[in-house]
Amino acid sequence: MGLLRNVYLQWKALRLPWRREIFAGSDLDGNMYFERFVRGASRTRRRVVYHKDLGVSEYSDKIIPVQWQAWMRHTRQQPPTTSELLQDIRRRERIAANVQKLAENSSRTPNRSLPAHQPQFQNSAPGQKFQPENCDLELVSKNRCFAGEVRKYRHASASTKGTMSFNIYLPDTALSGTAKVPVLFYLSGLTCNEDNMVTKGGAIPFLSKERIALVAPDTSPRASGIEGEDDDWELGTGAGFYVDATQEPWSKHYNMYSYVQTELQQLVFDNFFIDSTRVSIFGHSMGGHGALVLALRNPGYYKSASAFAPICHPSTSSWGQKQFKAYLGPNPEDWVKYDATELVKTYDGPELPILLDQGDSDQFYTSKQLQPSHFVIATQSSKTAIRLQDRMQPGYDHSYYFIQTFMEDHIKFHAQYLKN
Positions annotated as catalytic residues are: 285, 362, 398
In eight-state DSSP terms, residue 352 is E
User: How far is the C-alpha of 5 from the C-alpha of 179, rounded, in Å?
Assistant: 61
E strand residue ranges, 172-315: 181-187, 213-217, 274-284, 305-308
Question: Which residues partner with 232 through β-bridges?
Answer: 235
395: Cα within 13 Å, side-chain hemisphere = 2
List the 32-36 sheet strands across, edge first.
21-26, 32-36, 45-49
38, amino acid identity? V
Q: What are phi and psi of 205, to 5 degrees?
A: -60, -40
Please choose, from the candidates 167, 382, 416, 234, the residue with its C-alpha nearest in 3D space to the C-alpha of residue 296: 382
Tell me the C-alpha distance between 198 and 405, whole Å.
15
At residue 216, φ and ψ (nearest 5 deg) are: -125, 105
Closest alpha carbon to 197 in 159, 250, 247, 145:
145
Burial of 7 (0-12, 13-18, 19+ CB in 10 A): exposed
Residue type, 201: G
CA within 13 Å, CB half, 267:
26
Using alpha carbons only, what angle is made at residue 183 by residues 111 and 196, rounded to the nearest 5 degrees? Answer: 90
User: Per DSSP, what are the bridge partners of residue 187?
Assistant: 283
- CA–CA separation, 323 vs 234, rounded Å? 8
d(CA 255, CA 251): 7
How many other β-carbons are positioned within 10 Å of the β-carbon of residue 173? Answer: 18
Neighbour tally for 161: CB within 10 Å: 20
The C-alpha atoms of residue 396 and residue 363 are separated, in whole angstroms, by 10
Based on DSSP, count helices (H) and strands (E) in the chain, helices before strands: 14, 12
